[in-house]
A = this chain, B = another copy of it.
């Protein structure tokens, strides 16, 4: 079907587009934990290991993501829909609960994730009201005993069968 406005076309297409679910966390200058659920996390380069994430400049986490700042990238598992929702909800309540604890550097670490990358912001490019942040990875770990989480058509899903071809 054809859709009327560019914005409607964009929203309809991206609603149909599956995405993994990540949570990016950092701290403000005063040590306050901040973070957000991100479906825009993407690989940027493997050598050196860098990822991008898009964020609104008015977002509560944005002031923490300055060049040089440490950040954590968490890859959520199928059983962490609740964490995805909390970290996408009211920013004043994102750290209410026991889904996180401070790591050795004081950064908010989400518990029981599928993979964790620790790194540092190396670039922030603003364009209009939004920005692309590049995080360079310094360390990380993975857990293989949990399944991936996918967001598509405005709902959380498990991953289905391997496709032939």
A residues sitting closer than 8 Å to B (CB atoms) are 1-3, 6-7, 9-14, 16-20, 22, 39-52, 54, 56, 73, 75, 78, 81-82, 85, 114-117, 119, 122-123, 125, 127-130, 132, 134, 137-144, 148-150, 152-153, 155-165
Contacts and interface: CB of A to CB of B under 8 A. Distances in A.
18 contacts: A1-B141, A1-B142, A6-B137, A7-B47, A9-B117, A9-B140, A10-B51, A11-B46, A12-B140, A13-B140, A13-B142, A18-B19, A45-B129, A50-B128, A148-B152, A150-B150, A156-B163, A160-B160
Contacts of A157: 159-163
Contacts of A117: 9-10, 13
A41 B10 CA distance: 12
